[in-house]
Amino acid sequence: MSLLQILCRRLLLAIMVVFGVVVVTFIVSHLIPGDPARLMAGEHASAQTVQHMQHVLGLDRPLPEQFAIYVGRLVRGDLGLSIRTQRPVSEDIRHFFPATIELSLAALLFALAFGLFLGVVAAVYKDTWIDQLARVISIVGISMPAFWLGLLLLELFYNWLGLLPGTGRLQEGLAAPPAVTGMFTVDALLAGEWGTLRSALEHLALPTFTLGFVILGIIMRQIRSAMIEVLQEDYIRTARAGGLSPTRIILGHALRNALIPSVTMLGLTFGDLLYGAVLTETIFAWPGMGNYVVESISSLDFPSIMGFAVVASLAYVLINLAVDLSYLVLDPQIREIG
Amino acid sequence: MSAILWFCGVATAVAAPTADGTLMIGKPSEPDTLDPHVAQSNNSLTITCKTYETLVKFAVVNGHATADVVPGLAQSWAVDPSGEVWDFTLAPGHRFSDGRPVDAAAVKFSFDRLMRIAKGPNEDFPAIGAVEALDQRTVRFRLTYPFAPFLQSLANCGGDVVDPAVMAFAVNDDFAQGYLATHSLGSGPYQIVHVEKGAEIVLEPNPYFPGPPPRIRRVVIKIIAEASVRRLELEKGDLDLIEEVSPDQIDVLRKKPDIVVIDEPCFREDLLFINSQRPPFDNVLVRQALSFAIDYQGIVDFVLLGKAKQMRGFIPEGFAGYDEAAPQFHYDPKKAQALLAQAGLRHLTIGFLYAKADPTWQTVGLIVQQNLADIGVKLELHEYSYTTMRDMIDRGDFDIAIGNYAPDFNDPSQYLNYWVDSRLFGLAGNRAFYKNPEVDAMIRRALSEKDPAARQTLYQRAQRIAVEAAPYILLSQKHYEAAMRSNVHGFVFNPLLLQVFNFEDMWKSPSPN
């Protein structure tokens, strides 16, 4: 099967997955007892006001009709109007998503860099104190709730040492850099605004560490066990016997093979990352999707909930597609088998 | 050397007013919309009450806000003998933040907009039939019946006057709701200059507001969901004022020298709704038994840490129509048991509907569970999401549910005409599904009764009958809690306007740190 065929098949599957998510989210969110019109109309609203709002929001139509209207709009790229904020959902998502992506990417990079390093070192020095230390870090990372870690970090670095800022994305009074990607660090870099870049990085540090720490533990564990296995393989022994330098063996031969199962993990970790981002964003008042989604769910803001589900599932599917494609680079066998 | 000193001097002189002129506020959640004709929660009032003005406003006497009304945009008013035609004369000098004068046409436009949008805030003006601009400064309201609390209701933020020029931003008949969700176009002392969704809202003075310019030149409202982080930033000095401080945190913050706490009795109440239509709660003896079984003081002491008091009647102390002789149930398990026996009930099991919307509700539920166990009643706690819970209350699908209530303006109708009117079963007001034709007649008559004394008697009688019938278990009248840095001055608390701060009169002295 050619690369193009694989790509087409996966893309088709991706569309089906996203459509499935749309159907399920629509049904589930509408099955929850509760009426957003009732909720929006407030404390004293009379039956007439609620009816009027139901009509305005289109909630008085039959469910299948509401679904057909929604899908019709979705195909044209229109995610509808948020019941809660009165703003187009696509606009809200365009505003909030880059902040979440920036945080998630930074956390992923951080976790990858340290997770890989610790995993490799722990495997090479298996059962020594270095390995024990790395495993303790991993267990702490996996078991410590992001919520608790975030508060501890704030207490230490913000309140006690005064080294890093507390909440938000930029220092008060500093204007956001010209929007290109919506990620302040990248945009500041592109615009050459070094002061803004520095402030953005400082604000990103603690949330990144909080969110990345959990993933770091998972990656480290995965790499460690895969590396231990690979290091016992015959071809590694052969390479050693052949006189290759240990660095070359570890990085060039062992790690490359150990990476394949880890890459799969990485794709699946993206879900954890999004979930962890919600908690992290709450603690650090990081204006991303997290708070927006929580507020949308608690006010049964159907268009916003649906919009998030669509975008998040799309991102999830695309990332896993990228993961699958990366196998082709890492493992030529898969390319041949298809 | 002198150059360095000169530079430092300049730097300080330039920096000081900026620092002292900016007020940083920490708010737990972002207001859904900043459109005064759509916004429902007090969370929005922090902004809308400062960016718009009403025809009349609540008076401040000796540094304390009262529930009485005084002239606002209107300098005077007159009502005809029928009580159905009100003429307001607008005070000169009020201008919207775009410089246009506030005229009668703008008042008419605003009330027409409020009624056409009909998304909730219009409910406080049930009697408005038509609004006419008689001339540039006179506006006439024609009511469909003599709605007695009309003047009081106009001080409520739903009566905010919006600049008609906003229609330039209208999209598809939305009356510019999309625009006003994140912008302002009013005549209040401040205007919205920046909204960073999910992060912050920035206000700066309306240059056309009459009187001396406010000393707070910039208000930055930061959205910080986590309570402990808000507190940390207040203690660190990055925030000047924080909202929603829990009772236990208030006591800790009170001890800090550079923090001042706001801990004032307000009109917010916690209560339980007993579904009076569902057997066996349709029996008044059962409802009274439940009311005698509750350890009211225990709830005040252990859940609210003393920052509340047991309610007496529906109407809270300090509010128009408060009746200090209203009947009050007290903790008397023996009497409760006797009443249950009289009703012929044994082994009763009932459900308690609550959500995590208020962190204290579950704890209250546990105390009530223990109290009822003492009289042989089993209480099952049923937790649902807040939206589901509200829906169940609306449909009457519960035995006992917990909730809270805060009024919009100072008139007994805010309690009686909602809580016990049998036309408003469910979320609309009567959440206990209580029905008594005699009470219905009294409260409906009181709503259009022009003689204040007769009106008060009607409400008093209605309230005493309804309280005795015990459709609600009246738990506590609560405190409002917030905290600010000790160098912030001039805040005046108004029990009717929770989460509203009088930025225009406030100021900051140089920080002690």
Q: How is A232-261 classified by DSSP, letter by letter? A: TSHHHHHHHHTT--HHIIIIIIIHHHHHHH
Q: Hey, how many other C-beta atoms are within 10 angstroms of the C-beta on B69?
A: 19
Q: Report the alpha-carbon distance of residue A43 to residue A41 in Å, rounded.
A: 7
Q: What is the mean pLDDT of chain A?
A: 85
Share of chain A above pLDDT 70, in %: 96
> Closest-CA residue in chain B for A293?
B198
pLDDT band at B65 (very low <50, low <70, confident <90, very high): low
Alpha carbon distance B95, B93 (integer Å): 6
In terms of Cβ atoms closer than 10 Å to its own Cβ (0-12, 13-18, 19+), residue B62 is exposed
Q: Is the ipTM above a cut-off of 0.90?
A: no
Helices (H) and strands (E) counted in chain B, each on its own, are 15, 19
Q: Is B32 on the interface with A (CB under 8 A)?
A: yes
pLDDT at A124 over 70: yes
CB-CB: which of A40, A172, A298 is closest to B119?
A40
Residue B92 has pLDDT above 90, yes or no: yes
Q: Region B315-331: what's the mean pLDDT?
A: 93
Chain B residues in contact with A41 by the CB 8 A cut-off are: 40, 119-120
> What pLDDT, on the 0 to 100 scale, is given for residue B12?
34
CA distance B419 to B400: 15
CB contact under 8 A, B29 and A151: no
DSSP string, A71-134: HHHHHTT---B-TTT-SBHHHHHHHHHHHHHHHHHHHHHHHHHHHHHHHHHHHHTTTSHHHHHH
A225 pLDDT higher than 60:
yes
CB contact under 8 A, A295 and B30: yes
Q: Is B17 in the A-facing interface, judged by CB distances under 8 Å? A: no
Provide mean pLDDT across the span B203-223.
94
- The conformation of residue A179, written as its DSSP 8-state character, comes to P
| CA distances in angstroms from B224 to A298, B49, B198, B241, B392, listed in the order given | 17, 21, 9, 12, 31
Contact residues, chain A, for B428 at CB < 8 Å: 44-47
Contact B490/A at CB under 8 A: no
CA of B290, closest CA in chain A: separation in Å?
26
**Per the CB < 8 Å rule, is A85 touching B224?**
no
Q: What pLDDT does residue B16 have? A: 34
Instruction: Please state whether B490 falls in left (phi above 0), alpha (psi between -120 and 50) or beta.
Output: left
Radius of gyration of chain A (CA): 24
Contacts of residue B48 in chain A, CB cutoff 8 Å? Answer: none
Q: Could you tell me which residue, A268 or A223, shows the higher pLDDT?
A: A223
| Confidence band of A332 (pLDDT split at 50, 70, 90) | low
- How do residues A246-284 score in pLDDT, each as one tens digit? 888 887 778 877 887 777 777 777 777 877 888 899 899
Residue found by looking up tokens 């939206």 in the block: B387
Nearest to B369 by CA among B379, B355, B359: B379
The sign one gets for the Cα dihedral A23, A26, A29, A33 is negative
User: A335: pLDDT confidence band, cut at 50, 70 and 90?
Assistant: low
- Tell if the CB–CB gap between A167 and B233 is shorter than 8 Å: yes
> Which has the higher per-residue pLDDT, A325 or B450?
B450
Q: Residue B442: what pLDDT?
A: 97
Contact yes or no for B468/B486 (Cβ under 8 A): no
pLDDT of residue B249: 86
User: Which pair of structure tokens corresponds to residue B91?
Assistant: 């005070």
End-to-end Cα, chain A, rounded Å: 6
Which CA distances in Å does A164 have to A160, A170, A205, A330?
10, 12, 8, 39
**pLDDT over 80 (residue A25):** yes
Is B277 strand, coil or helix?
Answer: coil
Scanning B323-382 for CB atoms below 8 A from A yields none
Dist. CA A214–CA A141, nearest whole Å: 5
> Structural domains in chain A?
96-299 (1.10.3720.10)
Q: Is A168 left (phi over 0), alpha (psi -120 to 50) or beta?
A: left
Kindly indicate the confidence band of residue B9, based on its pLDDT and cuts at 50, 70 and 90.
very low
CB contact under 8 A, A282 and B225: yes
The reported pLDDT for the residue numbered B494 is 85
State whether B427 and A283 contact (CB < 8 Å). no
pLDDT of res. A336? 53
DSSP bridge partners of B192: B203
Q: What is the pLDDT of residues B377-418, one digit of tens each?
A: 999 999 988 878 888 998 899 999 999 998 888 899 999 999
Instruction: Provide the token pair at B453.
Output: 């004394």
What is the predicted pLDDT for the residue at B63?
63
Summary count for chain A: helices (H), strands (E) = 15, 0
Short-list B415, B423, B452, B424, CA closest to B83: B452
> Are A298 and B387 inside 8 Å of each other by CB?
yes
Q: How many other C-beta atoms lie within 10 A of the C-beta of residue B64?
A: 12
Higher pLDDT, B1 or A286: A286
Kindly report the number of other CB atoms within 10 A of residue B359's CB atom.
10
Buried b (16+ CB within 10 A) or exposed e, B428-459: bbbbbbbbbeebbebbbebbebeeeeebbebb
Which residue on chain B is closest to A297 by alpha carbon? B387
Question: What is the pLDDT, as a whole number, of residue B141?
Answer: 97
Of A20, A57, A51, A222, the C-alpha closest to A123 is A222
- Please report residues of B whose CB lies closer than 8 A to that of A166: 229, 232-233, 236, 238
What 3-state class would DSSP assign to B69? strand
Contact check, Cβ <8 Å, A47/B220: no
pLDDT tens digits, residue range B243-271?
A: 988 888 888 999 999 999 998 889 999 99
Higher pLDDT, B487 or A267: B487
pLDDT at B483: 95
Say which residues have a Cβ less than 8 Å from residue A174's Cβ, sequence separation at least 6.
A195, A196, A199
Residue B60: helix, strand or coil by DSSP? Answer: strand
pLDDT, mean of residues A314-330: 80
Which of A84-88, B9-13, B194-198 has the least mean pLDDT? B9-13
Q: Are residues B507 and B215 in contact, defined by beta-carbon separation less than 8 angstroms?
A: yes
| Per-residue pLDDT reduced to its tens digit, A148-195 | 999 999 999 999 999 999 898 998 888 889 989 989 999 999 999 999
Residues of A in contact with B178 (CB under 8 A): 86-87
Arithmetic mean of pLDDT, B440-469: 95
The token pair at B404 is: 């809270």
Whether chain A has a CB inside 8 Å of the CB on B447: the answer is no
- B260 close to B484: Cβ distance less than 8 angstroms: yes
Is residue B169 within a helix (H) or strand (E), and if so which, with residue range?
none
Chain A residues inside the 8 Å CB shell of B24: 172
Cβ–Cβ contact B242 with A under 8 A? no
- Does B275 contact chain A (CB < 8 Å)? no
Give the three-state DSSP class for A278.
helix
Q: Examine the pLDDT at B202 and tell me if it is beyond 50.
A: yes
Residues of A in contact with B427 (CB under 8 A): 38, 43, 45
Other beta carbons within 10 Å of B82: 10
Output A40 or B233, whichever has higher pLDDT.
B233
**pLDDT given for residue B14 in this prediction:** 32
Question: Which site among A50, A86, A184 would you substitute to test the B interface, given the most B Cβ atoms closer than 10 Å to its Cβ?
Answer: A86
Name the nearest CA neighbour of B319 among B432, B426, B418, B414: B414
- Candidates A45, A151, A176; nearest CB to B120: A45
pLDDT category of residue B163 using cuts at 50, 70 and 90: very high
Q: Which of B19, B46, B22, B487 is nearest to B244 (CA)?
A: B46
Residue A33 has pLDDT above 80, yes or no: no
Which tops the pLDDT comparison, B449 or A248?
B449
* Assigned token pair, B288: 């009274």
A to B CB pairs, distance under 8 Å: 140
Of A42, A95, A291, the CB nearest to B225: A291
**B238 touches A at CB < 8 Å:** yes
Say if the Cβ atoms of A169 and B232 lie within 8 Å: no
Of A47, A95, A285, the CB nearest to B428: A47
User: When comparing pLDDT for B286 and B513, which is higher?
Assistant: B286
User: What is the model's pLDDT at position A230?
Assistant: 84
Rounded CA gap, A267 and A270, in Å? 6
Residues in a beta bridge with B381: B352
Q: Which helix (H) or strand (E) holds A23?
A: helix A3-31
CB contact under 8 Å between B40 and A172, yes or no, is no
Q: Cβ(B214)–Cβ(B200) under 8 Å? A: no
Find, in chain B, the residue whose alpha carbon is nearest to that of A168: B199
Strand partners, B382: B353
**pLDDT > 70: percent of chain B:** 95
φ, ψ at A241 (rounded to 5°): -60, -30
Residue from B242, B386, B387 whose CB has the most chain A CBs within 10 Å, to mutate: B387
Beta bridge partners of B191: B204
Q: What is the pLDDT of residues A36-82, one digit of tens each?
A: 777 777 666 777 778 887 887 788 888 888 888 888 888 888 888 88
Q: Answer whether B224 sits within 8 Å of A285, measured CB to CB.
A: yes
Of the two residues A291 and B301, the one the predictor is more confident about is: B301
Max Cα distance, chain A (Å): 85
- Which pLDDT score is estimated for A334? 62
pLDDT at B363 over 80: yes
> What residues in A contact B390, CB-CB < 8 Å?
34, 38-39
Q: Taking CB atoms and an 8 Å cutoff, what residues of chain A touch B386?
A: 298
Cβ B38 vs Cβ B120: under 8 Å: yes
Crossing angle of the two packed helices B284-293 and B361-374, in degrees rounded to 10: 110
3-state secondary structure B72-137: CCEEEEEECCCCCEEEEEECCCCECCCCCECCHHHHHHHHHHHHHHCCCHHHHCCCEEEEEEEECC
To 10 degrees, what angle do helices A255-284 and A146-153 make? 70
Give the position of tokens 């009459």. B210
pLDDT at A326: 78
DSSP letter (8 states) at residue A309 = H
Do the Cβ atoms of A38 and B226 come within 8 Å?
no
Mean pLDDT of chain B: 90
Going by pLDDT thresholds of 50, 70 and 90, the confidence category of residue B498 is: confident
- 3-state SS assignment for residue B317: coil
